[in-house]
Structure 1
């Protein structure tokens, strides 16, 4: 039986990918052709990861860097990497120096390339994304920003670069991934940009089956979106993103059927999202494996994300939150279960697996999305903050009782919600 506190733990498990421009060697790709030279001195930095993959090896690798002491005002990004990679990402972290051990207590020289095959967030804390790409020859996340607009990387920020490679050949290969960040001076920055990094934690795809994951994020501030791009793993067979106006009208923005070599949608003019409006996106999956697939941080799991640069920066909305730190998300299922049925399902789990638990939410009907999301939000934030003290210790019963009281109004609305 999955209690309220264990559901919170399940949700809490969801987290938020070298060389600098001083490297004087012009790097080359495995064919001997120039891949991507570093920015000219004074115009930016290059972060680079090189490693060797054995035959048939699939691996995620990480490397940590420290941003320059003057910080970075990134106005443009270019990413190039040798074939065989699903993605290359550059994250920001909260560290003030490069750690000497992972969050799991394993000693590692993180300034060098190292394995992080459970996903970078399993070993390191991350709090945002700067750059990246899912296409070896373009379509980077940040791309070009307008004149006077820059994504700011504070001085000395520890950055985490992450690659995911598969060597399908019978011979070892050398992988090469590079991210160029082109910068502008402090006095040229008129508006600070941010990066949308919306992540749907509710994914469950049955063995030899299909399902969808849908999430809507409402903004509290007016923003201009430069471009958007999806992120899924290999079971992803479809993706649609929409803008939701204040009157509920939905306008399709972006649709495709690719999980790698992913296209981006460029907005010219920029996509204007007014306060109270939303981005609503849906991932579609088909699972040919003999096991159920749930959301998670590795290639063995699935993801459903919306990523893209925008301005002016609204830090909370980057992770689909309100200014008060609460969720700004509504999750919609693709099944027939009522909101009350979801919690009955959670109370009667047989395997206790993530796929089974997330499946309770995914199997809800569309109509109860707002009520179900309100309960899940309340529970995952310890009763919207009212039960933080009660839930800070080991007394799970006291925690559950407090949350049950604090979230009673949301649960009553859930119990009354129907699929009709």
Structure 2
């Protein structure tokens, strides 16, 4: 299980459609801005145990409505979280006496794991694969609440595909609004299919396939919120796959199996695959949530979950449910071929982990 659906940093852990693009439109008013330390990569070098942190130093909550990242290339993917200042203190034994709370450090030196960061605070931002410029934006009146004395921590996966050495940094800008302008505080849902088995090409012809997982959220709503009905709205969705991925779909599923699409996209890596859902979309009582990715495998290998030479099928969604929910797809099963000749695979929903996000809300 992971609460950090877009788990490149933890590779072993296993209506209206949204539109592709930057994740939002309109002007951007920068409230906070930070450029992380540049990272140095040799030709063809890949790194995945590098974390970076930004100390906000906020004495009051920050209500985030937009986050924008830009980078100088080589950023295959990165996941960012807000955590308390005490969550990942410097490890002087491993890092030396000059290590600081803010900066660049080995994730393993401070015991960083994405699912622990998500549980300690929450998901702040997730970068689409190889996107150089990306905006995460929420509908008017909604925001992500960052508690006082928080730190933004990111697990980064970099890959240098240029002809020579590369120095590259990411800059992050935040637009925030006063508390009185916020009617809805958002919380993250995340699914990650851990058990992928994407079939290889046959006689040199790429194989098309799709893999899905579906989770029933009824027990989570009852256990953590005391609600017998699953009721929430989706405000933002970001899908995630790698170079063999070709499509992503997120749908509400009713008890009778009928589906209603929340977000559907066909996009290439390097392009943002997140979108604002405006107006926010209600589940209309559907207790289940289903995610699916399409793949085109042109290799002679069955592709599994992994970093550069593997695939993923994950998503992040922000909702008004007052729940942080994470789940992983397990027990991959081949279901045959659909009417278009696409190989179909399904996975079971593994144990769902949920937390009440805001104790002061019902």
Q: Same fold (TM over 0.5)?
A: yes
Q: 1:223 to 1:156 in 2, by over 3 A?
A: same
Match for residue 189 of structure 1? Answer: 182
Between the aligned partners of 1:96 and 1:122, the Cα distance in structure 2 is 15
Unaligned runs of 5+ in 1: 1-11, 18-37, 321-326, 337-362, 382-420
Deviation by residue 1:19-70 (Cα, 9 ceiling, x = unmatched): xxxxxxxxxxxxxxxxxxx965xx3343534222222222233212333232
The residue number in structure 2 matching 1:66 is: 55
State how 1:375-394 maps to structure 2 within 5 Å.
377=351
The aligned counterpart of 1:335 is 335
Per the alignment, residue 144 of structure 1 pairs with 138
- SS of corresponding position for 1:204: coil
Distance 1:152 1:101, change over 3 A: same
Question: Corresponding residue for 1:57?
Answer: 45
SS across alignment from 1:248: coil
What does the per-residue CA deviation read over 1:173-224, in whole Å, with 9 as the maximum and x for residues that have no partner?
A: 2212122122122333322112332222222335657654311234444222
Unaligned runs of 5+ in 2: 7-27, 222-229, 337-342, 354-362
Cα 1:95–1:168 shift into 2, 3 Å: same
Distance in 2 of aligned mates of 1:244 and 1:217 = 9
Query: How far 1:82 moved relative to its partner?
Result: 1.9
1:48 to 30, 36, 43: 36
Are 1:132 and 2:126 matched, yes or no? yes
Question: Residue 167 and residue 87 in structure 1: after superposition, are their counterparts in 2 closer, same or farther (change >3 A)?
Answer: same
Equivalent pair of 2:36/2:103 in contact (CA under 8 Å): no
- How far apart are 1:92 and its partner, in Å? 2.8
Whether the 8 Å contact between 2:69 and 2:173 is mirrored in structure 1 is yes
Pairing 1:74-113 to 2, within 5 Å after superposition: 74-93=64-83, 96-101=86-91, 106-107=94-95, 109=99, 111-113=102-104
Measured against aligned partners, the alpha-carbon deviations of 1:265-303 in whole angstroms (never above 9, x if no partner) come to: 44332211234343311123344556544325x334432
Distance 1:95 1:333 in 2: 43
Aligned residue number for residue 309 of structure 1: 318
Secondary structure (helix, strand or coil) at the match of 1:319 reads strand
Please give the TM-score of this superposition, normalised by the length of structure 2.
0.67
What does residue 222 of structure 1 align with? 231
Check 1:113–1:124 CA distance in 2 against 1; reply closer, same or farther (3 A cut). farther
The count of corresponding residues between Structure 1 and Structure 2 is: 297
Q: How big is the shift at 1:74?
A: 0.8
Relative to its length, the structure with more helix (as a share) is 1
The CA deviation at 1:319 is: 1.9
Q: Distance in 1 between matches of 2:254 and 2:284?
A: 8
Structure scoring higher RCO (CA < 8 A, sep ≥ 6) equals 2
Answering whether residue 170 of structure 2 is matched by residue 177 of structure 1, we say yes
| Matching of residue 319 in structure 1 with residue 330 in structure 2 | no
Partner of residue 272, structure 1 = 282
Closer, same or farther in 2 for the Cα pair 1:160/1:331, shift >3 Å?
A: same
Partner-residue secondary structure (3-state), 1:334:
strand
Show CA shifts across 1:118-154 (max 9, x none). Answer: xx9558942131123323233x3x313313x221111
Secondary structure class of the residue paired with 2:169: strand
Q: Residues 247 and 177 from structure 1, CA distance in 2 versus in 1: closer, same or farther, beyond 3 angstroms?
A: same
Give yes or no for contact 1:240–1:282 (8 Å, CA) kept in 2.
Answer: yes
Over the aligned positions, Cα root-mean-square deviation in angstroms equals: 3.8
Q: Secondary structure at the match of 1:242?
A: strand
Higher normalized strand content (fraction of residues):
2
Distance 1:265 1:332, change over 3 A: farther
Runs of 4+ in 1 over 6 A off after TM superposition: 329-332
- Aligned equivalent of 1:254, options 245, 252, 264: 264
Q: Is the 8 A contact 1:50 1:113 kept in 2?
A: no
